Amino acid sequence: MRHVIVVVGSDEQRRQAVPQVRLLDDESIRQSTWYASRNQDDPGVLLDDHRSFVMRLALLPLLAYRFYLLVHNTRLWGGKRPLVLVRGRSLGSRIAAYAGSWGGGDIVKADGSDEPALGPTRYVLKPDGKLELLDA
């Protein structure tokens, strides 16, 4: 079983449909959502929607550390590298990409845009739900 963590950093991403991942050999998937907010149970204002630059800067270390722990512990419990689905190049996506790669996760570019992938991105999600390894 492979764990998939979907990153949500703004209300726009919250309203979008969750990308579907299909792994080889029909491997089962367990999916969870991480909100770039202080409270995961009741996410209020997400990081990318904060108007205050100071508040964004104050939340960065806290959110990065919490996401690092989530990915690291998921890898320890599951025995496999979790897939971290990031959409776009927003601040929430950047934090999740870097903290997730430090925690031992595989970063997946989950949007179909032509923007270049973030630095630690390892896979690109194709429209059919399959993963494609990026050229190094």
Q: pTM of the predicted model, to two decimals?
A: 0.92
Q: Mean pLDDT over residues 81-90, rounded?
A: 95
Rounded distance between C-alpha atoms, residue 14 and residue 101, angstroms: 22
Average pLDDT score, the chain: 93
Range of the structural domain that residue 33 is part of? 2-133
**Rounded to 5 degrees, what angle do the CA atoms 11, 118, 61 make?**
65
Q: Name the band, by pLDDT with cuts 50, 70 and 90, for residue 37.
A: very high
Rounded distance between C-alpha atoms, residue 134 and residue 22, angstroms: 17
Specify the pLDDT at position 136: 58
Ramachandran region of residue 129, left (φ > 0), alpha (ψ -120 to 50) or beta?
Answer: left
Tell me which amino acid residue 12 is: E
Residue showing tokens 């449909």: 17
Specify the pLDDT at position 50: 92
Report how many domains make up the chain: 1
